[in-house]
Structure 1
Amino acid sequence: MTEYGRGPGSEPWHPEDPLYGDGGWGGQEAQAAQSPYGGQPQHHPEQPQQPEYGDWGAGQQAGYDQGPQQYAQGQQQYGGHSPQQYTGQGGQGYPGQGGPQYDPNGRPYDQNDQNGQPYDQSGQQYDQNGQPYNGGWGTGQQYQQQHQVPYNGDPNDPYGDQAAAYAGQQPDQYGTPDAYPPPEPPGRRRAEPEPEPQRTDWDPGPDQGEHAFFAGGDDDDDGVDDDGDDPQSRRRGKGGKGSKGKGEKKSRSGCACLVVSLVFTSMIGGVGYFGYQFYQNRFGSAPDYAGDGTGEQVTVVIPKGAFGSVIGQRLKAAGVVKSVDAFVAAQSQNSEGDKIQPGSYLLKKQMSAESAVELMLDPKSQNNLVVREGQRNVTVYEAIDKQLDLPKGSTAKVAEEKYESLGLPDWANDDTDIKDPLEGFLYPATYPADKDMKPEAVLKEMVSQANKEYAKYDLEAKADDLGLDDPLQVVTVASLVQAEGITHDDFRKMAAVVYNRLKPTNDVTNQKLEFDSTYNYLKGQSEIDISVDEIRNYDDPYNTYFYKGLPPGPIGNPGGEALKAAVDPDGGAWMFFISIDGKKTDFTKTLADHEKLVQKFNERRKKD
């Protein structure tokens, strides 16, 4: 089959044939804007396809003979895709296209050619030169006989090369991939696919990174057909491999919607939560229990120096109060709330904050062990046994056997004559002592507190300044001041008496302290009326009436004021002291003044 002609065959071609297609296929001259194949306009490659040499009709031959100019016009019109433009001049010459058409018997369809001359009724066709025409299916032999054009002939002939090429029997171009498709009958024609829209650089499209959900497409418009194949992938030769169906596309869009919904829900929930918390903090009341609590008791230890918020945290952790804010508010509303002392408290679980504050102010709730200033260790041991519900002597035995593991400083227990190595290191304070605790734990806490307090002073340097041997003697002086002084106002003068009597220049007592408190300590008593013969003749390192200087170790546990007085004594030359009424201490510098005060003391005792 040639490009524009029609070869013999069984396909119906005449309008009177019952299988003829649409009405536009008749022999009427095609309009200038209509495709020669009918249907959608044909889009051909930009390089024009030359018709085969043997298929040229009389009209094309005429256009050929009329010269290069007219042929150039025909070539220019060829790109417009109009049947008239293929005739070379005015659409003449092609049977079945621009020129007259014939039925199978050779009769002209319109009975006249385009020059107005009737066709031969015998069915013979002629070209414009009057030569018999073979119906457009000739081999081009007549044309070759009449117009022998040598290969690469006349250079002025623009068609010479093409004619020579056709004379060389070039193969039919319909066998190559670049050829135009042959015309088909209307009944077999199919509408050409819509051309793919050209995508610009600024339009990435869903397949270049933008999800269809955000691109605004729906399931029917997402570029995937019902069979799950991507038409663009098929056009690119990718086939169905890797293509995703509509169900998966919908699933992907659904997942995106779910993720976005979850994000929005989380944001709304977070905003609501923080908004509620802000409202509660600013305007709402703090969470709190109601009532006096359950029957379950719990011990809570409050450290020294704890503020209301720290106390509230301890109570909340133990399950006593519901919130710290509720306790702080209740403490501030109570006029005695700031008097809550550190120590151990026996409370109940799930108490209202107001009830917890009131109970902590009640001494009955305090499950503590209090070490008083000047208290001896033997008394402290008995108190620990009682607090921990232990047999009498249990804590004293632990102190004797385990004192080295309780955290004493290196300068402690420097003398083998020391009766109790822990004396002076059970620092006066309030300590938690619950029944679940062990004695060594309580003792270790007391020693630790003493180390903290003593570390506030450079006791080694103070000992050198005061003429003492070691820091332990400084603590010993503090214990003597604590034991002999009545009030804190007495402490500095009492420390001066100690240091003045220890001086080598002391010729009144000959460097003996002569303190009754040291004799009472070794005796384990607290007597005032002691016989002179008894006290001066009792041989013991702690008896300062018998031995010069300080006792081997402290005689009690001094407090902070006594320790301060020991490291910073009064500068007076005080040598003697006496308390006439038991409430006030009188200090003197000479023995004569002291004897006068002793006489007043004896007179007062006789009256009592």
Structure 2
Amino acid sequence: MTEYGRGYGSEPWHPEDPLYGDQGSSRGQEQQPQWDGQQAHRYPQQQADPYAQQHYNGGWDGAQGGQPPYDPYDPYGQQPPADPYSGTNPDYYAAPDAYPPQHQHPHPQAMQGQQGMQQQQQYQQPQHPQHPEPHYDEGTGAGDDWRADPGPREPEPEHAFFADHGDDDGRDDLDPREEGRGGRERRGKKNKKNKRRSGRACLVVTLLFAGAVGTVGYFGYDFIMSHFGPAPDYEGEGTGEVQVDIPENSTILQMGLALKRAGVVKSADAFSEAAIDSKKDKVLQPGTYSLRKHMSAASAVELMVDPKSRNGLTIREGLRSGDVYKLIDTKLHLKKGTTKGVAKTEAKSLGLPSWANNSAKIKDPLEGFLYPSTYSVGGKAKPADVLKQMVSRAKQVYARYDLEANADKFHLKSPLQLITVASLTQAEGMTHDDFRKMAAVVYNRLAPDNTATNQKLEFDSAFNYLKNQSKINISTDEIRNYDDPYNTYFYRGLPPGPIGNPGDDALKATVNPDKSRKWLYFISVDGKKTDFTTNYADHTKLVREFNKRQQEKNGN
């Protein structure tokens, strides 16, 4: 065998080898490797042999006899060949007492034939500690016949990287030459134990991995469905009846959340998608709706745009407070005048701003603060709650216009006067362009240099307000001689307070009037548009045309 095999084991000595039977005295000069104390302990009988001692201590030559020296690099000098037909085989893996001392022939050169070969077999070759050489019987064809070791063949040591044992099993500390059957049995038990422990570890890892995969799969599916799948939705038109209040300034998503909380739709996302897909997201308004439970999102959208489903209360621009009270009574099925009485007695507790009650001449302190919009009014609502909601909405809108700064800008005494201008503009104008010119007329007539009307506004709308009427044809004698603070024909300046509830367009025009010309007069000849002039002569012509139309209309 080479150095890549089991080590320096011997090869059979073939008879045709030129050195067969003649080892020569020249080889006797080679030194035999020294054995350590451990090997001497394992082979005590060999040490007791005087010939063996002579062999190891003094070498061998032709005169003294003995065995040839051990040469680890000479494959032919290690072991004489065995006779394949003798029926005997050398024992390469014997127990420590398997080699009794033998008397060596004094002249090995004289050994011939069968006798020399048998004598050569008595020479004890030092046993390799781990890897004995197998014997092959050419006569019988039997191979790997281990004559000296009845036990199972010991496997070659496994590398620690692939071995199934811990770092503390002590394998590295054992001498393979001292490891017997007991060591193999202990190692076998330890390997079985380690294998069982390794199997349990694999099972635990597998279960943990399966659990992790299941968890990831569940949340992954939930993530995909929540981000990429269709939003949860009911089917059909729903059942039962439920009222839902949609607060002011609610977005489409907030509407959907309110419907979901009430049990109308299954998800706010489904409602938002249905509203946008149907292009009705701009039509939906806050308010109170009569809907059904467990409706599909599309059905809920269709029902909400139907006026019959709305329980909201809509207040149009310019509507007077008295008319608002009547609408609330009707909506809540209350006795006529109930809401008006609440407004009169509880005005100070409804959330009005501090600058709203600065005049005792004001006919209604809530006038100008019941902001035009659609409000949620359920069947169990109270008048005070509805009024509070309207006042709160007005304060939110007015905060956008910086009323105090704009009041100073137009030489007004308070923010309340600015709201009063807006209410007059709302009452007399019809379009946004009308509103800007109408606000300019108010400011120009209030100006100190106004000699045409001497700071009197002379608005029919203010007289109609104090009379709680809406007339177009008012006699000159009646309107100019009626003593009331709200009569702008009788008193200079603004009335004590607003004459209605202005909307957003009128408010915008009030803080941004038309200054292109100094508008002072206005009249609507046909009732469809408003004509504005800067002088009385032009205004007189328009008044004549208006009177003629009225006479033709009345058949005179």
User: TM-score scaled to structure 1, two decimals?
Assistant: 0.58
Question: What is the 5 A alignment of 1:172-183?
Answer: none
Deviation at 1:203, TM superposition (A): 8.7
| 2:488 equivalent in structure 1 | 544
Call closer, same or farther: CA 1:206–1:437 in 2, change over 3 Å: farther
Deviation at 1:428, TM superposition (A): 1.1
Contact 1:78/1:85 (CA < 8 Å) preserved in 2? no
Question: What is the 5 A alignment of 1:233-248?
Answer: none
Indicate which of 263, 268, 279 corresponds to 2:212: 263
Contact 2:164/2:194 (CA < 8 Å) preserved in 1? no
Indicate which of 383, 393, 398 corresponds to 2:337: 393
| 1:573 equivalent in structure 2 | 518
**C-alpha separation between the residues in 2 aligned to 1:77 and 1:349?**
96
Question: What is the 5 A alignment of 1:75-90?
Answer: 79-87=40-48, 89-90=50-51
| 1:435 equivalent in structure 2 | 379
Q: Deviations over 1:188-212 (max 9, x none)?
A: xxx9xx9xx9996x79977679xxx
Deviation at 1:408, TM superposition (A): 2.6
| 1:589 equivalent in structure 2 | 534
Amino acid at match of 1:306: T
| 1:280 equivalent in structure 2 | 229
Contact 2:244/2:258 (CA < 8 Å) preserved in 1? no
Contact 1:83/1:91 (CA < 8 Å) preserved in 2? no
**C-alpha separation between the residues in 2 aligned to 1:206 and 1:438?**
84
| 2:543 equivalent in structure 1 | 598
Deviation at 1:597, TM superposition (A): 2.5
Amino acid at match of 2:524: S
Deviation at 1:490, TM superposition (A): 1.6
Q: Does 1:291 align with 2:236?
A: yes
Contact 1:374/1:558 (CA < 8 Å) preserved in 2? yes
| 2:67 equivalent in structure 1 | none
Call closer, same or farther: CA 1:403–1:89 in 2, change over 3 Å: farther
Contact 1:407/1:447 (CA < 8 Å) preserved in 2? yes
SS at match of 2:229: helix
In structure 1, runs of 5+ residues without a counterpart are: 1-71, 93-112, 116-190, 210-229, 233-243
Q: Does 1:479 align with 2:423?
A: yes
Amino acid at match of 2:240: G
Contact 2:243/2:291 (CA < 8 Å) preserved in 1? yes
Amino acid at match of 2:216: M
SS at match of 1:411: helix
Deviation at 1:375, TM superposition (A): 0.7
Indicate which of 340, 365, 378 corresponds to 1:421: 365
| 2:295 equivalent in structure 1 | 351
Contact 1:481/1:495 (CA < 8 Å) preserved in 2? yes
**C-alpha separation between the residues in 2 aligned to 1:581 and 1:360?**
38
Question: What is the 5 A alignment of 1:400-419?
Answer: 400-419=344-363
Q: Which moved more, 1:338-347 or 1:450-459?
A: 338-347
Deviation at 1:370, TM superposition (A): 0.9
SS at match of 2:375: strand
**C-alpha separation between the residues in 2 aligned to 1:208 and 1:83?**
36
Contact 1:302/1:314 (CA < 8 Å) preserved in 2? no
| 1:135 equivalent in structure 2 | none
| 1:501 equivalent in structure 2 | 445
Deviation at 1:580, TM superposition (A): 2.2
Amino acid at match of 2:210: S
Q: Deviations over 1:88-110 (max 9, x none)?
A: 74479xxxxxxxxxxxxxxxxxx
Pairwise CA RMSD of aligned residues?
4.3
**C-alpha separation between the residues in 1 aligned to 2:247 and 2:216?**
41
Contact 2:485/2:496 (CA < 8 Å) preserved in 1? yes
SS at match of 1:299: strand
Q: Deviations over 1:142-182 (max 9, x none)?
A: xxxxxxxxxxxxxxxxxxxxxxxxxxxxxxxxxxxxxxxxx
**C-alpha separation between the residues in 1 aligned to 2:35 and 2:282?**
113
Contact 2:241/2:290 (CA < 8 Å) preserved in 1? no
**C-alpha separation between the residues in 2 aligned to 1:370 and 1:78?**
114
**C-alpha separation between the residues in 2 aligned to 1:397 and 1:427?**
19
Call closer, same or farther: CA 1:395–1:258 in 2, change over 3 Å: same
| 2:321 equivalent in structure 1 | 377
Contact 2:437/2:513 (CA < 8 Å) preserved in 1? yes
Contact 2:525/2:546 (CA < 8 Å) preserved in 1? yes
Call closer, same or farther: CA 1:247–1:77 in 2, change over 3 Å: closer
Deviation at 1:432, TM superposition (A): 1.3
**C-alpha separation between the residues in 1 aligned to 2:344 and 2:165?**
86
Call closer, same or farther: CA 1:507–1:298 in 2, change over 3 Å: same
Call closer, same or farther: CA 1:396–1:79 in 2, change over 3 Å: farther
Q: Does 1:458 align with 2:407?
A: no
Contact 2:243/2:288 (CA < 8 Å) preserved in 1? no
SS at match of 1:584: coil
Call closer, same or farther: CA 1:544–1:321 in 2, change over 3 Å: same
| 1:559 equivalent in structure 2 | 503
Q: Does 1:489 align with 2:429?
A: no
Rg larger in 1 or in 2? Answer: 1
Call closer, same or farther: CA 1:417–1:88 in 2, change over 3 Å: farther
| 1:50 equivalent in structure 2 | none
Amino acid at match of 1:606: Q
SS at match of 1:319: coil
Amino acid at match of 1:453: V
Call closer, same or farther: CA 1:208–1:455 in 2, change over 3 Å: farther
Deviation at 1:86, TM superposition (A): 4.6
Deviation at 1:480, TM superposition (A): 0.6
Amino acid at match of 1:604: R
Question: What is the 5 A alignment of 1:48-63?
Answer: none
Q: Deviations over 1:28-61 (max 9, x none)?
A: xxxxxxxxxxxxxxxxxxxxxxxxxxxxxxxxxx
SS at match of 2:260: helix
SS at match of 1:295: strand
User: TM-score scaled to structure 2, two decimals?
Assistant: 0.63
Deviation at 1:350, TM superposition (A): 1.8
Q: Which moved more, 1:357-366 or 1:82-91?
A: 82-91
Q: Deviations over 1:448-488 (max 9, x none)?
A: 22222222222222222211112211111110111122333
Deviation at 1:537, TM superposition (A): 3.1
The alignment-based identity, stated in percent, is 53
Deviation at 1:360, TM superposition (A): 1.9
Deviation at 1:353, TM superposition (A): 2.9
